[in-house]
Amino acid sequence: MALGEKIFEGTGNVVAFRITKVHPVEGTTMEVSFIEDLKGLGKFPGGKNTGSGTMTQYPHGSVDASYNGFVTMPEGETYLWWAHEKAKSVDGGKMRGIVTVTGYTNSQKYSWMNSAIFALESEFDPATQKLKNTGYIWE
């Protein structure tokens, strides 16, 4: 397993969240929605990323999450995606992790994305509700 070409950098904000469960052993489960601007690098087009999902933070600090969403690309094309994240709390209260993403587009120009697996380095700051992602092709 190797991370390949760096294909985008993203910055955004959590725009809504709702706590759905709090348990001393099973952790805190939340529904989360976010919007992110993606700066494409190389053949990735960039665009506006919109997503939501369910995140569970366990008492020991690790996080499991599943998300769904779409990227609206500059030409008006859409890439539908689904993702899974593993993260942990780090110094300063931020969460850092890895996200795997796959998806689908009807675009002929971006059809290469249909067979791609993307690996994202993620960072989220709960204090500011800001997120950062760096995306790579997973080869």
Here the CATH number for the domain that contains residue 13 is 2.40.160.20
Mean pLDDT (the chain) is 95
**Number of domains the chain contains:** 1
pLDDT in tens, 126-139: 999 999 999 999 87
pLDDT in tens, 61-80: 899 999 999 999 999 999 99
pLDDT at 33: 98
pLDDT at 88: 96
Contacts of 99 (CB under 8 A, 6+ apart): 67, 83, 84, 85, 119, 120, 122, 133
What is the sign of the dihedral through the CA atoms of 84, 110, 116 and 124? negative
Q: Which domain holds residue 122?
A: 3-138
Report the candidate in 21, 34, 24 with the shortest Cα–Cα distance to residue 67.
34
Q: How far apart are CA 110 and CA 103, in angstroms?
A: 11
